[in-house]
Amino acid sequence: MVGSDRASYYSESIKCYAIFELESGRMHEIKITMLGPSGVGKTTLLTAIYEQFESNIGKTNLQLTPDEESSAILQERLVELKTLLNDFEATGGIQGTEGEPEELRSFIFGLGQKGQKPSLQLHFQDYPGGYHAAKATPEKRQFVKNLLTDCVAVLIAVDAPALMEQNGKWHELINRPQQMTDLFKTAYQDLDSPRLVIFAPVKCEKYLQTEASAKELLQRVKEGYSRLIDLFNSANLLPKVAVVVNPVQTVGSVVFSRIDTNSSTPHFRFRKISHNAIYNPQDSEQPLRYLLRFILKLHLDARSRSWGLFSFLRDWLGRDYHLKQAVSQFASECKTNNGFALLQGEELLKIN
């Protein structure tokens, strides 16, 4: 199978994930996609989320269980992140996933009560950042558009140093905000059900040290993605799209140091906060808290509305009071200060 055919195959597969068959006993599925160019930090973000499953969700009666392939892949990536701390200075996180179709990856987690069979799947889709490159084939570009159309939630990984340093000089080159905006212009036409979009600045440890620097990071996200935020704030999308800024310290003990340039190409350097610093991610569970809060709100609203894609939510959770309580408990601890913000869609996340 050639590359373009393989990308088309995956694209068709993603469309099929929207089919829910309650009668057949299949587990229902919520689809989430990572979004961002190569090297921006999509896989690093997903790895940090995975690492925090047990330490945060474990405090409730919830259980998130990765399938065997997802567990093995993310464990390898976790080892890569931890090895960053072997040297006092590093060049960044996990190396960007190159644009080979073979690198398309799905990460699937079962969600349910501890000690019981999961009743819902959370399906995270990762893909090579090269799918955004100028040389990407039409099939690869269409694949990303299909992801945005079909997924309930989108996590936009934001390279924080590119956004913050040297007055944002490298933001357009690395984060490609206009390209992200153009993708949503197409994918979010005529939305018939709500969506959640999370801006997730990564490699942001330096900018969360004080309340003032965290406030500046939030303001720069608003400025750097102003056109996309304006799109979400338009009359047609405002009632349907919840937008959150959720910084994630993917390593926690490594901060931005400097930028070296070679032939006009920036190389971002990072350093450990101390020689004996250990891997210590912060707030990487917050995207999951927002996601489950959004899903719980959809469940509450599905009792009185007809949303085809989410019709199964009328039954899910409603049949299990204890699961609903566990989800509500976990989702109640979403942060909204010190760099975190709910930009719009408060009604889409209100569960009280």
Q: What is the pLDDT along the chain (352 residues), one digit of tens a residue?
A: 444 454 554 444 443 333 333 333 456 788 999 888 877 778 788 888 877 776 776 668 888 888 898 888 888 888 888 887 776 666 655 544 443 444 677 889 888 888 888 888 899 988 877 888 888 888 888 888 888 998 999 999 999 999 999 999 999 999 999 999 999 999 999 898 899 999 999 999 999 999 999 999 999 999 999 999 999 999 999 999 999 999 999 888 889 998 888 777 888 888 888 888 888 889 999 999 999 999 888 877 765 555 555 556 656 666 667 778 888 888 888 999 999 999 999 999 987 6
The candidate with the shortest Cα–Cα distance to 281, out of 217, 203, 212, is 203
Instruction: Choose among 125, 118, 83, 87: nearest CA to 103.
Output: 125
Neighbour count for residue 201 (Cβ, 10 Å): 30
* 270 vs 93: CA distance, rounded Å: 9
DSSP code of residue 102: G
CB 226 within 8 Å of CB 232:
no
Rg of the Cα atoms in the chain:
19
Two tokens at 281?
Answer: 């991610």
Q: Report whether 4 contacts 131 (CB < 8 A).
A: no
- Start-to-end Cα distance in the chain: 51
Find out whether 197 and 156 touch, Cβ atoms under 8 Å.
yes
Cβ-proximal residues to 106 (8 Å cutoff; 6+ apart), any chain: 70, 123, 124, 125, 126
Beta strands in the chain (DSSP E): 28-35, 62-66, 89-90, 105-113, 120-126, 153-159, 195-202, 241-245, 254-262, 265-272, 341-344
Phi-psi category of 339—alpha, beta or left, where left has phi over 0 and alpha has psi -120 to 50?
Answer: left
Question: Which pair of structure tokens corresponds to residue 7?
Answer: 């990308």
